Amino acid sequence: MYDLITAPAGAVAPVCAAFTRAPSVDPSGRVEALPGHPVPNLGDVDPDALLGSSAIPPEGEADHNGDARERPDFPHGGMSDNSCSWTPDRADAGAPLPVIIGHSAGASELPAEPASDPLDDMAAEFAAASKSEATRRAYRSDLRNFGAWCKADGACGLPATPRTVTRYVTHLAGLGRSVSTIDRRAAAISYAHRLAGLDAPSATEEVRAVLTGIRNTIGRRPMKKKALTADLVGKVVKKIPSDLAGLRDRAMILLCFGAALRRSELVALDVANLEPHRRGLLVRLGRSKTDQAGEGRSVAVPNGKLKAPDAVAAWLAASGITAGPLFRGCDRGKLSAERLSDRQFARVLKKRCAAIGLDPDLIGGHSPRRGFATSAGDAGADLRHTARHMRHAKLETTLGYMEDGDLFRESAGKGFM
């Protein structure tokens, strides 16, 4: 199976077929291969795992603030009769084949997948590691959507012409997609082209002008999820019962908040990442969104009012976990050996917040992290210290996590207005 996120540059000949011939789409939005023809599907992954029903996206993220299951965006509301989709039956009837890189349009068979080469495979793994897993997951979703749209529109997705990309993003704007979603999909298309050794269509003036026009026309301040500040976190965890699942959820929420973790960082933690300290808990992070080199960062979580380290210790004692994944599935008191996923954590967080009357639609995986930034600002913490705790390279990023109340605290006119 071909994967634009991992395929070596020399192995992209059949990829155009992946955009124009390969996927058939059923009413549920699943992308399926044609009978007898394994199809490049932009990632050998399960579409449900990729575009699951959770309202929470992967970080990097589809949209950080929401990820409702999305059906492919067809230009005419469905698969058009004049699209360039190809099946063996249509080929036998003389239907034209899609243009394939390096092959004539009259070829009667799809090119065979090239033999695997160890160096190419290793290079592909290194190329994939240049992006976080959450970003690769979001890009796969975006490229599948673009591929299905290209099939319906009769266009080739790789190489895509600037006109194809401008039509696609214009269509997305017409559907009411957010500016952030449109920008990310354009970035995914460009990344796929660069990985294949091709010029990125999104870098052309034609595409850039349309994207700028979309931002100027429909651009609006993105809706951010509610910040779970220290007082709200305290109310949430106080409401959680002390059964096994409750001990886990209390520890997860408090640790996510106290270490200002991305949800992908939280669920990636192993017991070995924790180091007890006389003043609290040290969390040793591995590779993350802002640390792709895996140099590792350490975050100190004090054992203060919220008692996050104590909550983690209580969870470990009750679960009996001594090694491996820190947070695992728990069903009716039975502990799973499997690591909890970031989407499962997001669902848990929504459920626990709803229990104290918060609107779950306003709660996301970033809510504890945003709440930490806001609480730090309210407490008068040095912005540089907050940025370091949150592993932000730029202070502007940290400011973007804070609630509007901080604008009043930092207002230049507060001393004389």
Catalytic residue among 369, 370, 389, 391: 369
Q: How far apart are the first and last CA of the chain?
A: 65
Catalytic residue among 64, 343, 389, 392: 392
Please give the helix or strand (H or E) that residue 377 lies within, else none: helix 367-378
Residue 369 catalytic? yes
Catalytic residue among 137, 366, 370, 389: 366
Residue 235 catalytic? no
**How far is it, in rounded angstroms, from Cα 276 to Cα 342?**
24
**How far is it, in rounded angstroms, from Cα 180 to Cα 408?**
27
Tracing tokens 């990023």 back to the chain, one arrives at 397
DSSP letter for each residue of 56-86: -PPTT-SBTTB--------TTSS--TTS---
Residue 401 catalytic? yes
Q: Any residues with CB less than 8 A from the CB of 11 and at least 6 apart, and which?
A: 2, 113, 114, 120
Catalytic residue among 131, 262, 370, 391: 262
Catalytic residue among 224, 289, 328, 347: 289
**How far is it, in rounded angstroms, from Cα 214 to Cα 210?**
6
Nearest CA-CA partner of 86 in 151, 32, 147: 151
What's the count of helices (H) and strands (E) in the chain, helices before strands? 17, 7
**Judging by beta carbons within 10 Å of its beta carbon (0-12, 13-18, 19+), is residue 123 exposed, middle or buried?**
middle
Question: Across the chain, which distance is largest between two alpha carbons, in Å?
Answer: 82
Residue 289 catalytic? yes
Residue 25 forms beta bridges with which residues?
Answer: 31
Q: Is 100 helix (H, G, I), strand (E, B) or coil?
A: strand
Residue 151 catalytic? no
Residue 262 catalytic? yes
Find the Cα–Cα–Cα–Cα dihedral 340, 346, 350, 353, rounded to 10°.
80
Range 275-279 contact pairs with CB under 8 angstroms and sequence separation of 24 or more: 276/309, 276/313, 279/303
Q: Which residues are catalytic?
A: 262, 289, 366, 369, 392, 401
